[in-house]
Amino acid sequence: MSKNARRPLISRRLLWQLALILLVLVMLGVAWLDARVRQRFDSHQWQLPARVYARPVELYSGRVLAERHITQLLALLRYREQAGAPTPGSFSRQGNSYLIHTRAFHDSDGGEPARQIRLQLAGNQISSLSGADGARLPVARLEPMQIGSIHPGHSQDRILVRLADTPPMLHDMLLAVEDRQFYQHHGLSLRGLARAMVANLRAGGLTQGGSTLTQQLVKNFWLTRDRTLSRKLLEMPMAVLLELHYEKPQIIETYLNEVYLGQDGSRAIHGMGLGAQFYFGRPLNELEPHHFALLVGMLKGPSLYDPRRRPERAQARRDVVLNVAHEQGLLSDDALAAALARPLEVVPRGGGALYAFPAFIDLVRRQLARDYPPAVLSGEGLNIHSTLDVLAQLAAEDALARVLAQRDPQGDNQLNGAVVVTAPDQGDVLAIVADRQPRSAGFNRALDAVRPIGSLAKPAVVLTALERPKQYSLATLVADEPITVPLAHGDTWAPQNFDKESRGAIPMAEALAQSRNQAMASLGMEVGLEPLILTLKRLGVQGRIPAYPSIILGSHALTPFEVAVMYQPLATGGFRTPLRSITDVLDIAGQPLARYPVSADPVIEQGPAFLTQWAMIQVMRAGTGQRVLGQLPADLVVAGKTGTSDGYRDAWFAGFSGNHLAVVWIGRDDNQPAGVAGSSAALPVWGNLMAALPQRSLREDAPPGVEWVWMDADGQRRSAEGCQGARRYPMLVASIPEAASACGEDISRGGVRGWFRRLFD
Amino acid sequence: MVSPLVRLIALAGLLALAGCTLTPPTTTAPRDDMPVGIQDSSPAHSLLASARNARSRGDTGAAGRYLERALSMAGAGEATVLYRELAELRLAEGKPRDAEGLALRALREAPANAEWRAGLWDILATARQRQGNTDGSEAARAEAEKLRGSQMGAR
């Protein structure tokens, strides 16, 4: 034998060396896997979108509430009708009496417990509110409705549920079906693996995984969904490592929140918490065994067993799970029979509140994008409390739809509209409607339809004049006569009145109430375009306003939302309060991150603001707004202004009470003549809407510096009650003339005696 | 010219009403002690109580939220109370500019009650002082004193 032949092909030493290298490589690999497993698991980087909530609905005795609105509200919140309202999220009804079992919630005020409340409606308002024991309740709240989720950076969505809050039935069913040895094995189940191998051999390929829950979690968390051998080889050591480091409860809790349960457009539905909402429209803890069985059954193939697209297959799968649960002793015979008899009870996709208010969510998105970088919004599970008042929103949608259904029932005239509702006190945007079909997300007319505001500009003209009390008061006569204003390039501006007539000299208050174009044009030209532009800017109009005379009559174009901004100071007696759609941003643990508190910035002096508001009250009492009066309570004091643009293209109404401001626009998207006028098209929407909200009257008592004065018809001299043509106006002290008419002089000099003398002369 | 018979009837009628309707109906005597407050039966009442509780335990954030909720359901004459509370809260939070705006808002909503208005001018004076606006502060203080003086005079 040669020397070489005696030697083995590979020396033992080399073998040892190779083995050592291999061992080191394996150890390095395991260490790397270990680090990967721990890092991901420890950091718990759930991809949680920012969730947007409406404000909780406040119920209190005396609140206006139409029966159809409480019905809509309970449906949106997915309350189910059940005798005796036994569990949270249920209600029962007898005539106008509702027993509602509210859901508990936690918010920045501390929240509310789940409890039964009894609510009585009478004449479109809550006539009484009490607890289950009959004791009067001052205020009760329904939980904030989730109206949107914002996930710019990814497309996963989930609602985290702690193991302690997971219904035991769901937990037990999951183990019975997916991994009965879960609490015994260490990540791998040889029995399960053997069973799967037999099945695979029979099928001639990889059809069954035989994976434990731990392996499934590893697969979902770190690996692709392909069934390849290499994935399997990685999955097994990772599962064992996971079990080495973490307790069983942590693993199963993570599993429950990680599982993939379906797709909602681009949004991936993860976890049982969101699955419950997505398929049943209710929180997990309100579900029953047949619901759990469907969720557990779907794990085998969320698309294959999609209960919306393949209800029969899904139901068969659900029934298999129910039978397994019964075999394992989780369900009695009766419970099994009862569960099998139930339908799937899956809610229609998109029927809930999550997609109900796209126009409002659009506003929230824009405000968030202004204040937060995308990274914060993308995955940190922020809770965003918005100002949306669901009842105001429903009322606004309803009001617009009704009027458009009358004027353009088939949509042949392509009439559409937008509504913005705010609470001027707080600057809260309560509702946004941007389409006659409010659930469809498209062109946001409320935020983006830029249209000439027409006569909505006139209060700004009046205000500009009233801020010069030595020159003007509401009694000042203005010329409602043909006016021709020369423009550049030899053109002229010669506005016409709505009725094509001229009334001559009329008081400023009447010019506004009757929306006289020529009178306003001459007043506007007198006060000057630049001061008018400054007033518009103080009221909150942004951007450049060109100094054309036609801006006096509203040739400047704004969106309905911008009109709401502009009318805010008019509604509040001179205060600018930034409009907000968000009140609070909380982190995932419920800790406040940002707060948008109420503020009030005085931009108009109290006196002129009061006078302008009073003049706008006269619009409603005796002017172009008076046809709405029958729709509202007789003693409610409201103010507003109609607006119609050239060629009846745009119908506007902007008006307010003491606690609500609403702007309505109606027109066509292509800006063609729509045959609509503010008083006939937009005003009825406003009236319908305001009638459905709890209202507070505007105040009519004069603030300091303002006095009530009888003025002569000439607008320049004081007069007295009973004198011919005398009218009473609120006036700034600086406006009150020294001179009085003969009749007025007589009475004021004689006082009570003069009054008597006149009677007997 | 009015006939003597009509004069007689008018005079008799006026004598019958003497003492209560001799002054023309529009000139009501100015009052400066109109009631201010929130009634127990108002839904805003319990929220105001919660706000005061929250504030007393130092949770100004929660107090603000209760007041804002109360504002949304306040009846006529109640808003001034809530704005005043909000203004005081903002002062306590070290936000005098916001406090000034809210106190002005409370004044706008305030009824004819000299003592109440004087109190609001006091808040304005403090808010302006803390913003370094000494003149504005003094003017507000003077306004408060004037109101208190007029009230004394009225008594």
Q: Do B102 and A752 touch (CB under 8 A)?
A: no
Tell me: pLDDT of A340 over 50: yes
List CB contacts of A416: < 8 A, sequence separation 6 or more. Answer: A404, A435, A436, A445, A666, A667, A668, A669
Residue B139 lies in a domain: yes
Model confidence at A746, pLDDT cuts 50, 70, 90, reads: confident
The whole domain housing B84 covers 38-154
The reported pLDDT for the residue numbered B26 is 42
Chain A nearest CA to B66, separation (Å): 7
Say how many C-beta atoms besides its own lie within 10 A of residue A28's C-beta. 10
When divided into structural domains, chain B yields a total of: 1
Query: A60 in contact with B at a CB cutoff of 8 Å?
Result: yes
Angle between the N-to-C axes of helices A390-407 and A67-76, in degrees from 0 to 180, rounded to the nearest 10: 120
Q: Do A602 and B46 touch (CB under 8 A)?
A: no
Name which of B57, B72, B100, B102 to mutate to probe chain A: the one with the most chain A Cβ atoms within 10 A of its Cβ. Answer: B72
Query: B66 in contact with A at a CB cutoff of 8 Å?
Result: yes
Q: Is residue A455 flagged as an active site residue?
A: yes
Residues in chain A: 761
Can you read off the two tokens belonging to residue A729? Answer: 């106006």
What are the residue ranges spanned by the domains of chain A?
Answer: 3-43, 57-144, 156-341, 706-760
Q: Which of A215, A236, A218, A51 is nearest to A145 (CA)?
A: A51
pLDDT tens digits, residue range B13-47?
544 444 333 333 344 445 677 788 888 888 899 99
Q: Is the dihedral of CA B122, B126, B127, B129 positive or negative?
A: positive
**By CA distance, what is A657's nearest residue in B?**
B76
C-alpha span between A378 and A133 (Å, rounded) = 45
Residue B2 lies in a domain: no
Partner residue facing B75 (CB), from A572, A696, A699: A696
- Please give the angle made by the CA atoms of A37, A43 and A47, to the nearest 5 degrees: 105
Residue B11 lies in a domain: no
Task: Residue B76: list chain A partners with CB under 8 A.
Answer: 658, 696-697, 699
C-alpha span between A20 and A23 (Å, rounded) = 5
pLDDT tens digits, residue range A653-695?
999 999 999 999 999 999 898 888 889 999 999 999 999 998 8
Would you state the torsion angle of the CA atoms of residues A173, A347, A435, A388, taken in this order, to the nearest 10 degrees? -50
Span of A15-19, A35-39, A515-519, A703-707 with lowest mean pLDDT: A35-39
Task: Residue B105: list chain A partners with CB under 8 A.
Answer: 572-573, 575, 600
Residue B13 lies in a domain: no
pLDDT tens digits, residue range A50-72?
889 999 999 999 898 989 999 98
- Average pLDDT of A344-364? 85
Residue B52 lies in a domain: yes
Tell me which H or E stretch contains A81. strand A80-81
The reported pLDDT for the residue numbered A1 is 46
CATH number at residue B42: 1.25.40.10
Share of chain A above pLDDT 90, in %: 60
Span of A189-198, A569-578, B63-72 with lowest mean pLDDT: A189-198
Question: Side chain identity at B20, as an amino acid letter?
Answer: C
- Average pLDDT of B95-105? 92
CATH class of A57-144: alpha beta
Residue B77 lies in a domain: yes
Burial class (CB in 10 A: 0-12, 13-18, 19+), A311: middle
More confident residue, A379 or A554: A554
ipTM of the complex: 0.76
Tell me: pLDDT of A207 over 60: no
**By CA distance, what is A637's nearest residue in B?**
B76
Assign 3-class secondary structure to A478-546.
EEECCCCEECHHHCEECCCCCCCCCCEEEEHHHHHHCCCHHHHHHHHHHHCHHHHHHHHHHCCCCCCCC
Q: Do B26 and A61 touch (CB under 8 A)?
A: no
Q: Is residue A178 flagged as an active site residue?
A: yes
Name which of B50, B73, B93, B123 to mutate to probe chain A: the one with the most chain A Cβ atoms within 10 A of its Cβ. Answer: B73
- Cα Rg of chain B, angstroms: 22
A156-341 is a CATH 1.10.357.10 domain: no
**Average pLDDT in chain A:** 89
